[in-house]
Amino acid sequence: MAIHQVGIIMNGVTGRMGTNQHLLRSIKAIIDQGGVDLGGGDVILPDPILVGRNEAKLAELAARAGVKRFTTNLDQTLADAGNQIYFDATLTGQRPVGVRKALAAKKHVYCEKPTATSSAEALALYREAKAAGVKNGVVQDKLWLPGLVKLRQLIDQGFFGEILSVRGEFGYWVFTGEFDKLQRPSWNYRKEDDGGIIVDMLCHWRYVIDNLFGDVKALSCLGATHIPKRWDEAGQPYACTADDSAYATFELKNGVICHFNSSWTVRVRRDDLLTLQVDGTQGSAVAGLRDCVAQPLSATPRCTWNPDVDSPIKFFENWSTVPLQQACDNAFKVQWELFLKHVVRGDAFPWTLLEGAKGVQLAELGLKSWAERRWVDVPGLV
C-alpha cells in the first residue's frame, strides 16, 4: 500500500469557478473521499496550497475548504519541490505568466481555458511545456457531463446511423445588476478585460465537437452585444464592450453541420441550460447537462404541415430516456482524477495544452468571421 501525496499549487481559485468547481467540488471532494484509488491499496492524495493576491480572501477560503496551506507568494510555492502540479484559474490575460513560471520550475501544468488571449501564445505554451518535458492539460469539463456521456454512448453504439447535423443551444438570462444581484463578473462584458461569450464558449464547443462529432473544417460566426450597459460589483453602470451572444455554424471535415447559439441574453424554454440535438439517418437524440432522450427511425412520426388545425402529434412524445451505463461524478472532479493519474502513474491524458490552443484558435477565428462577415477556414495547428 502506498500513498502518493501530490502538492498542487492552485492559483486564482478565489474566483467563482476556481472556488466552486476546482477547489470545493474537485480537490476537497477527492481529499474527503480518501484520495484517488489506484487499486491494490495505492491512492493519490492531493495536498493543495492556495495562491492569490488577497491574503484575507485566501485565509477565509482555506478555512472553508479545510486547507492548511495558502500564500500570496507564487515564486516561493514554485520553489518547493513538494509541489508537483501548478493549476491556473486566473484571468486569461494573466495565465501565460503563471504557466511560464511553472514551466521554468519544471512543474506539471493544468489550467483553465482559454489558455491565452491568442492562439499563437496558446500554441507557444504547449510547445514550451513539451520542451520542458512536463505533463500538461487543460480543463475540458463538458465531456464528462452525464448528458454528453449518454450521447457518446449512442454514438459509439451506432444509434444515429450517419450523423447529419448538430444543433446546440446554450445560455440563460443574465441580469444586468441594475435592480438585482450581480450574476456574473463585470469583466465578462468588457473586451478590454478579455471578456465576451465568443472567447468563452467557442473554446468549449471546439472540444465538444472534436471529441464527439469530428474535426472542424470551417466556421461562420456572428456576435452581438445585445445589452449595451450593465452594473458592476460596486453598483456602478458601465459600457459593455464585449459580445454577450454568438451565433456560430461549423462545417466539419466529415460533412456534419453543427450550429451553436450561445447567449447570456436569452430566456430558457428548453430542457436545460445546454441542449444538443443530434440528427442522423437512423435516429435523433437531445442531450442536456444530465439527461438524454432519443427517437429511433422506427418511432419517428410522419409530420404533415397544416397550420389550420391543432397538430395531432405530441412532439415531446415518442422519445425514450437514455439510461446511464456508468456512474457520473462531478465533471471537473472526473478530469482532475484523470490528470492526477496521468502525473503519478502515466495514464493517458489526451487533453493537453494543444487542445487548449485549438479552442483559442476557434474563438479567434470566430471573432475574425464576425469582423469580416464571412466564412473562415480552420487550419491545423501542428
- pLDDT averaged per 10 residues in sequence order, the chain, 382 residues: 94 94 98 96 97 96 97 97 97 94 98 96 98 98 97 97 98 96 92 96 97 98 98 96 98 98 98 98 98 97 93 93 90 98 97 98 98 98 83
Cis peptide before 114 (omega within 30 of 0): yes
Ranges of CATH 3.40.50.720 domains, the chain: 3-141+330-351
Task: Quote the pLDDT of residue 373.
Answer: 98
- The Cα 79–Cα 67 span in angstroms is 20
Task: Quote the pLDDT of residue 327.
Answer: 83
Tell me the β-bridge partners of 247: 222, 261
- Output the nine-digit C-alpha cell for 74: 507564487
Contact, 122 vs 356, CB < 8 A?
A: yes
Task: Quote the pLDDT of residue 286.
Answer: 98
Q: pLDDT tens, 316-352?
A: 999 999 998 888 899 999 999 999 999 999 999 999 9
Does domain 142-327+361-376 sit in CATH 3.30.360.10? yes
- Output the nine-digit C-alpha cell for 227: 445589452
Please give the helix or strand (H or E) that residue 257 lies within, else none.
strand 257-263
Task: Quote the pLDDT of residue 151.
Answer: 97
Can you tell me which residue has the cell 453543427?
258
Can you tell me which residue has the cell 483559442?
360
- Output the nine-digit C-alpha cell for 372: 469580416
Residue type at 234? A
**Which CATH number is correct for 3-141+330-351, 1.20.140.10, 3.40.50.720, 1.10.4080.10, 3.65.10.10?**
3.40.50.720
Ranges of CATH 3.30.360.10 domains, the chain: 142-327+361-376
pTM comes to 0.94
Dihedral sign for Cα 30, 33, 36, 42, please.
Answer: positive
